[in-house]
Amino acid sequence: MSVVVVAPGQGSQTPGFLEPWLAEARFSDHLDELAAASGVDLRTHGTVSDADTIRDTAVAQPLIVAASLLSFAAVAEGGRREKLAGVAGHSVGELAAAAAAGILDESDAMRLVTRRGAAMAEAASMVRTGMSAVVGGDEAELLEKLAGLGLEPANFNGGGQIVVAGELDALARLQEDPPAGARVIPLQVAGAFHTRFMSPAVETLRAEAAGLEPGDPSLPIWTNKSGERVTDGRTFLDLIVGQVASPVRWDLTMQSFEKDGITGIIELAPAGALVGLAKRALKGVPTVAVKTPDDLAAAHELIDAAPAEEGA
């Protein structure tokens, strides 16, 4: 068994999803530490804030990364970190993955993700844009249609799903006239993330990241940029910055998992989306979605079946 831990991206959050975690003092105290670093009231947003509030990019991003970090600490406890084959994150989940791999400490990761969320929210406010998931159809035909509409592919998620982004009227036209055999599903996000519309946020993040001192990863880590492993911490941080305005290649990341012999996947809180993609693209690979502390036993069982990773 060769197990990788993955951290989800924006859109995985749901109202009250942190409630089960905060019933235990160790998770509650950990969340308070992460909230202090971010300056965001993560406790309120993770328990009582409504769906519209936590959909706000400036709230959602630090909330999701904090949830992934506190669940990673529990997943990796008892010496299990040394048994992991590596980590990866989808979109904003790359900040959680960077902290899990030792590239950033948790406080720096929380400060950076909070700045990222605010900068992306500000960029999104400049033009009315959004995102839609396209399921099925021919990829080449879709990309040709996107070019004609001024839209861009934002997430190549694998399993026949591509998320596209751009101005709302263009997304509406795509939904009215989709490629043959495709369904277009509007997403509840307030911006065209991972496209040219996020360029102003890249400059903000680049300035913020310049003041950090990343370490090299002590766990294998794969990038969304190309799906390849990255061994230099500064390079990975630079890729996180540029990723704000470039497509997420989760399809290539999953291809690398297959090539590198990954035989188990654990998704950190708020889990569900990435194991769903894995079940379609990596058939037969066992998965665990860590949504609440009740899921930790299954995650530990999967890791305990794996030998320690040499050089990790």
- pLDDT for position 1: 62
Angstrom distance (rounded) from CA 123 to CA 203: 11
pLDDT of residue 308: 57
- Contact present, 272 and 181 (Cβ < 8 Å): no
* 10 vs 155: CA distance, rounded Å: 12
Q: Is 91 a catalytic residue?
A: yes
Structure tokens at 112: 């950076």
Q: How many separate helices (H) and strands (E) can be counted in the chain? A: 13, 9
Beta carbons of 163 and 187 less than 8 angstroms apart: yes
Q: What pLDDT score was predicted for residue 312?
A: 44
For residue 283, give the amino acid letter: K
Structure-block tokens of residue 83: 């048994």
Out of 30, 45, 90, 194, which one is annotated catalytic?
Answer: 194
**What does the CA dihedral 206, 210, 211, 217 come to, rounded to 10 degrees?**
100
Strand pairing of 161-167 and 152-158?
A: antiparallel
Looking at 12, 38, 71, 91, which residue is catalytic? 91
Note the pLDDT tens digit of each residue in 166-200: 999 999 999 999 999 999 999 878 799 999 999 99
Q: Is the dihedral of CA 145, 146, 148, 149 positive or negative?
A: positive
**CA-based end-to-end distance of the chain:** 15
CATH topology of domain 3-124+195-304: Malonyl-Coenzyme A Acyl Carrier Protein; domain 2 (3.40.366)
Measured CA to CA, the distance from residue 16 to residue 22 in angstroms comes to: 11
Distance CA 273, CA 11 (A): 9
CATH superfamily of 129-186: Malonyl-CoA ACP transacylase, ACP-binding (3.30.70.250)
- pLDDT attached to residue 190: 78
Q: Which residues of the chain have pLDDT under 50?
A: 310-312
Q: What is the pLDDT of residues 265-292, one digit of tens each?
A: 999 999 999 999 999 999 999 999 999 9
Please report, for the chain, the start and end positions of each structural domain, with discontinuous segments joined by +: 3-124+195-304, 129-186
